[in-house]
Amino acid sequence: MVEFLNVHGSELVTKTWEQLYICTIALVLGVIVAVPLGILLTRFPRTAKIVIGIASMLQTVPSLALLALMIPIFGIGKLPSIVALFIYSLLPILRNTYIGMEDVDPVLKDSAKGMGMTTIQSITQVEIPTAMPVIMAGIRLSAVYVIAWGTLASYIGAGGLGDFIFNGLNLFQPDLIIGGTIPVTLLALLVDYLLGRLEKRLTPVNQRS
């Protein structure tokens, strides 16, 4: 491993940054789209089943196939990879947001109305904070998925740690495979830990375990 760092140290930093860049943008876009959509769908239960069904269907498309489908539309490089990873990030966040909001105690909602809160105030001040642990669980799961699947982006020229893994497979060099796999694993664990810390900060004190 020391020899690998001596030879590929600077390249490792670059590839890690590329992986983080692609995955962060995809995940942030997923949160921006899926959280508001999940909240909105709680007001339209029939539509919710259709939308979540479509998201579930997209999740079943093989990663490489989805990446390949992006090429005719967006070409090769980082953009198609970000779009594909964004699509994969949607389901866990959307589903958990919907479930979390649906599971909010009706008594809390009634109390918010009784206090004269508008629908928007009830959502932002009561329902979202109550559902936050479930929502964040979806975001954390999605983050791990996106980082893991982000290695496949190397196939369409997006760079990232997948370059080490696939070069190692093509050249029969286990050190390259390990040199790409370990950073991906550590990156996923680190991001999950940081999101876990964020979850604790966003969760109301009376709900913290």
- Delimit the domains of the chain by residue range: 2-203
pLDDT, residue 195, reads 93
CATH 1.10.3720.10 correct for 2-203: yes
C-alpha–C-alpha distance, residues 55 and 5, integer Å? 40
Residue 209 predicted with pLDDT over 60 = no
pLDDT digits (tens, 9 = 90+) for 98-141: 999 999 888 888 888 888 888 888 888 888 999 999 999 999 99
pLDDT of res. 136: 94
Average of per-residue pLDDT across 160-187: 88
- Assign 206 a pLDDT band (cuts: 50, 70, 90): low
The 10s digit of each residue's pLDDT in 58-108 is: 888 888 788 888 888 888 888 999 999 999 899 899 999 999 999 988 888
Q: Which tokens sit at 119?
A: 């629908």
Q: CA 13, CA 185: separation in Å to the nearest integer?
A: 15
Distance of CA 31 to the CA centre of its chain: 8
Query: Angle of helix 45-59 relative to helix 2-41, nearest 10 degrees?
Result: 160
Which residues are CB-contacts of 109 (< 8 A; sequence separation ≥ 6)?
122, 126, 127
pTM value is 0.89
Provide the percentage of residues in the chain whose pLDDT is more than 90: 39
